[in-house]
Amino acid sequence: MQFSRWQNLLEILVKGMQNQIKDISHQETGIYLPFAGTLFLFIAVCNLLSIVPGYTPPTASLSTTAALAICVFAAVPLYGILNRGLLGYLRQYIRPTMFMLPFNIMGELSRTLALAVRLFGNMMSGAKIGAILLAIAPLFFPIIMHALGLLTGLIQAYIFAVLAMVYIASATRAQQERGQKQEKKQEEKGEKSNG
């Protein structure tokens, strides 16, 4: 059976993303793949398109990156509640003690801001550096920086998707660890009773 090129490409992409998600979250990838995969593909294409002359990548605008970060901000509690129930999700805010509540909420907000500003800063700095170098040392040196910018863009897309996945995994993981511990205990009990 002959696979077309496009099918090969898509399979590599989807399979690679599935493996990454599985490594990070130690869970079934089914419900995470659409979200994280879309983030990665969108940002990667945006960043790579910066190679077209005269085209400012959408991710070099704070509005786009803020919108993407807000998507992550909304998706984390969504997946958390889906996985652990409303109370189970809310309980992680008062962990380990009640006093950590304001810090947990602040952490949630500040990491959203960091997500937006990081992507925006990286992409904008790429465009700005290209423009400045074009003015002071034209034609050859800017090309090298631009090639470096392509690498940075792809890494930034990867980092954005991985960080979103890490946040989601941290919101969904605790219950699963408890489940694993119980399983281990049961296994130990079973071994003892068997032995």
Residues lying near another protein in the complex (CB under 8 A) are found at 20, 23-24, 114, 117-118, 120-122, 124-125, 128, 155-156, 158-159, 162-163, 166
Least separation in angstroms between residue 6's CB and another protein is 27
Answer yes or no: are the C-beta atoms of 23 and 161 closer than 8 Å. no
Least separation in angstroms between residue 73's CB and another protein is 16
Using CA atoms, how far residue 87 sits from 62, 117, 169, in Å, is 34, 31, 17
3-state DSSP assignment of residue 13: helix
CB nearer to another protein: give 16 or 179: 16
CB nearer to another protein: give 80 or 126: 126
Name the nearest CA neighbour of 170 among 19, 27, 20: 27
Least separation in angstroms between residue 11's CB and another protein is 20
Q: Where are the alpha helices (DSSP H) in 85-100?
A: 86-91
Least separation in angstroms between residue 114's CB and another protein is 5
CB nearer to another protein: give 24 or 84: 24
Query: Residue 56: left if φ>0, alpha if ψ -120 to 50, beta else—which one?
Result: beta
CB nearer to another protein: give 71 or 162: 162
CB nearer to another protein: give 75 or 119: 119
Would you tell me how many other CB atoms lie within 10 Å of the CB of residue 108?
A: 15
Name the nearest CA neighbour of 38 among 81, 80, 73, 71: 71
Least separation in angstroms between residue 115's CB and another protein is 9
